[in-house]
Structure 1
Amino acid sequence: MNGPHITVSVPAELHLFVAAERRRAEPGAVVTDGTSSLGHVVESLGVPLTEVGALSVDGRDVPNAHVPAAGEAVRVHAVVRPQEVPGAPLRFLLDVHLGTLARRLRLLGVDAAYENEDIGDPALAALSASDRRVMLTRDRGLLRRRELWAGAYVYSDRPADQLRDILQRFAPDLAPWTRCVACNGLLTPADKESVRDRLEGGTERSYDVFAACASCGRVYWRGAHHTRLEAVVAEALRDFAPTRH
């Protein structure tokens, strides 16, 4: 780029996307080519547009398509939380690296599709668009694909922190124990007789309350891991259910 000079200020919460030398020089001088959109300029700095809530130039909001002129002072604003996703029911799509997060979202009743194989960025972006799902990923390149319907960067590599981040960012409605953690299907109550052929002897003798997945047939009961899962559910309901839409 060898066109107009502008200055770009990036908020601290988005500094992880920006090269270290640029973080130390806020607001940083940027040389544009005079034709590229401001959205393209921001992405060239490393910031995915999925993480940008608004762009302002000299104090006024502008669209991503704005072409910056010489001397303009640009401020990048992070997304406002909770973030609204217009135009479709709130549903997620997670890439192959976020299996634990997918299962925890499903545990809370959140619609979370998950690809347990690496099908590639183009296929994931196309699936996000066709199913109108918010793509959750730690792959910054994937978030820059134009065909994405919507996306969000998952900031932590710790599942517990990932869950809190997504619940705080999107405030999805929570309905614990209503989805299959294996396939995302809906659970329905099941009497013991209807699922007896899918139970081991010890389970059949020890439990009387069951649920079954309407999609894959998996059977659920309050087994040995229920206390740990209850703790996850209780924390989510305590901290996030009051703010849900």
Structure 2
Amino acid sequence: MTGPRVTIKIPAELRLFLPADRRTEVLGLTTDGSSSLGHVVESLGIPLTEVGALAVDGRDVPTGHVPAAGEVVEVRTVCRPQAVPGAPLRFLLDVHLGTLARRLRLLGVDAAYESEDIGDPALAALSAEERRVLLSRDRGLLRRRELWAGGYVYSDRPEEQLHDVLGRFEPVLAPWTRCVACNGPLRDADKESVRDRLADGTSRTYDVFAECTGCGGVYWRGAHHTRLSAVVEQALRDHGEGRPPAAG
């Protein structure tokens, strides 16, 4: 390639996306002279969902800027908490993030989840159709043009994933209000209305129940409640109730 040569500065947080032999703070790069700066950054492996701003010679530029010879490009990370256009804040998680989806739902966060691999084009289209922030560890998926909004999940550990997502997007938390199985809202239910869906031991032992308005699942404070309460309490300590919903 014999196009303009530019200098690109990459912050430490984004260098994991670079090829192993190019993970340095400053890169010299020869461009084709016609591709946008957004395309150049993505060609390095960095999804634009993880880029907060681009600056050239100290001034902010749009992703459509075409780099010229000698320019110094600074790639900046997203601001935290990250503002997402529109309301309410909702998420879509890919097939590999089932545990994270269930924990977000436990906290009352609207988190749609595809338990089967429907393919990258369909996931990105669903994100756009339902205006959901797509969460994924698939860099290629987050580079799809039809995507409405997205975020890379940096850790492969559910505890760290949850902490990262809550800190980055600050969703409003409303624990125990959403079905962890299907994402539907929960409502209080009296024992008689759900008795036919309970095992005999559960019916004899518990009196307080909730019911999913979507799938009809029944919830009570059973053997797993202590473990789940620990997840909820930790999230509330670290992140409070999150930001209030945006107006409009």
| TM-score normalised by the chain length of structure 2 | 0.97
Give yes or no for the alignment of 1:29 onto 2:59: no
Give yes or no for the alignment of 1:144 onto 2:143: yes
Give yes or no for the alignment of 1:12 onto 2:43: no
State the partner residue of 1:231: 230
In 2, distance between residues paired with 1:74 and 1:173? 36
Q: CA deviation at 1:244?
A: 2.9
State the partner residue of 1:43: 42
In 1, distance between residues paired with 2:31 and 2:20? 20
Give the residue type in structure 1 aligned to 2:230. A
Secondary structure in 1 matching 2:140: helix
Q: CA deviation at 1:173?
A: 0.2
Q: Is the 8 A contact 2:173 2:241 kept in 1?
A: no
Q: Which runs of 5+ in 1 are unaligned?
A: none
In 1, distance between residues paired with 2:223 and 2:23? 48
Q: CA deviation at 1:204?
A: 0.3
Q: CA deviation at 1:20?
A: 2.2
In 1, distance between residues paired with 2:119 and 2:156? 20
In 1, distance between residues paired with 2:241 and 2:176? 18
In 1, distance between residues paired with 2:156 and 2:23? 22
Secondary structure in 2 matching 1:140: coil
Give the residue type in structure 1 aligned to 2:49. T
Give the residue type in structure 1 aligned to 2:48. L
State the partner residue of 1:110: 109
Q: CA deviation at 1:19?
A: 1.4
Give yes or no for the alignment of 1:60 onto 2:59: yes
Deviations 1:184-208 (A, max 9, x none): 0000000001000000000000000
Q: CA deviation at 1:68?
A: 0.6
State the partner residue of 1:199: 198
Identity of aligned residues (%): 76
Q: CA deviation at 1:242?
A: 5.6
In 2, distance between residues paired with 1:201 and 1:27? 66
Q: Which runs of 5+ in 2 are unaligned?
A: none
State the partner residue of 1:90: 89
Q: Is the 8 A contact 2:172 2:242 kept in 1?
A: no
In 2, distance between residues paired with 1:14 and 1:80? 13
Deviations 1:88-107 (A, max 9, x none): 31100000000000000000
Q: CA deviation at 1:223?
A: 0.1
Pair 189,243 (structure 1): closer, same or farther in 2 beyond 3 Å: closer
Equivalent pairs, count: 244
In 2, distance between residues paired with 1:181 and 1:2? 54
Deviates most, 15-24 or 106-115: 15-24
In 2, distance between residues paired with 1:167 and 1:221? 26
| TM-score normalised by the chain length of structure 1 | 0.98
Q: CA deviation at 1:243?
A: 5.1
Deviations 1:166-223 (A, max 9, x none): 0000000000000000000000000001000000000000000000000100000000
